[in-house]
Amino acid sequence: MNELASTLLLLRATRSARLPGTNGFQCYAAILSAIRAADPFLAERLKAQPEVRLLTVSPLLGVQARGQELRLEAGSVCGLRITAFDDALCQLLRRWQESPPPALSLTTPKGSAVLEVQPVCSDQSHPLIRWSTFTQLYDAACAARAVKWEIEIDSPATFHVRGGNLPLPVPRLVYNGLLRKWLTVAPIELRGWVARGIRQLLLSLGQPAGPSAAQRPGLPEAFDGAVRIEQLELRTLMWDYEHNGGKQTGFLGRILFCLPRKQWSEIAAGALTALTDFAYFAGVGANTAMGMGQVGATRTIALSRAPVSNDMPVLHA
């Protein structure tokens, strides 16, 4: 798999409706239904791979919720962001640009809504629309020589830790989730490259870094001593999924991570750059398929004189 996509569906309400203010679960179910109608085999494959969701679906965008309720007026227009990191899914989203599904049906305890799908927005100047590949992320990461990484989170993000939720951007939790997805879905040669970068970073911390060090269930706490938070602009928000997961508190806003010079190497910085850019498509934290942890933008910052290192390997296809 190599393709990555973030696109925006424009929807028009066919009638007035009342929906939960937190409707990501219903939007995800509606998109899965549309995928099943277009490609039943793909829908079954998505269902059979629950450990890594290959797409994220936002809640309805552009409609103001009133408390825990969202009211759609007949004829009103809203949006739905879909990201994917699977070739077949990305190809389907491209087909939807020309021939979108006729309508999405959202059914909730509060009511139901039928939303006509307009032609998929293809304006790549829109901040939520982008088409890329893992190879392009690699090429950009190699050239960046970054020392700082910024992630802007647009919807509440949280992490499942020891049976509870932790709504804090702990570096090892942020990057462990991205690393796990990358090592599952990226092309084989790029999985190895990122794994080597993380192993190099762990070695700089004096951590064990054998062949499987970057593929263990979780990054060690020492990771937080290398990848540090330099700036935060955050707030918390509670989403109530009612019958589909209960209340979830998450953080959203901007986080700037940095890497000290003594831990910096080209391959470690390259791996962090690629994972940060990947966050735009993959999301951060738990329940990303249902719209939590959506990333609206990422940014890398390079010093004019980055630390000297000669360990970046040349990737041969």
Q: Which domains does the chain have, with CATH numbers?
A: 3-117 (3.30.70.1890), 133-301 (3.30.70.1900)
56-81 confidence digits (pLDDT tens)? 999 999 887 776 788 888 999 999 99
Q: Find tokens 């020891």 and name the residue.
A: 162
Q: Determine the pLDDT at residue 209.
A: 56
- Give me the sheet containing 69-72, strands edge to edge: 17-20, 69-72, 65-66
Mean of the pLDDT values across residues 282-298? 93
Mean of the pLDDT values across residues 195-201? 93
Q: Determine the pLDDT at residue 153.
A: 96
CA pair distance 137, 278, nearest whole angstrom: 7
**What share of the chain has pLDDT > 70, as a percent?**
88
pTM above 0.75, yes or no: yes
CA pair distance 182, 166, nearest whole angstrom: 22
Q: Determine the pLDDT at residue 244.
A: 55
Evaluate if residue 245 carries a pLDDT over 80.
no
DSSP, res 102: S
CA pair distance 146, 259, nearest whole angstrom: 9
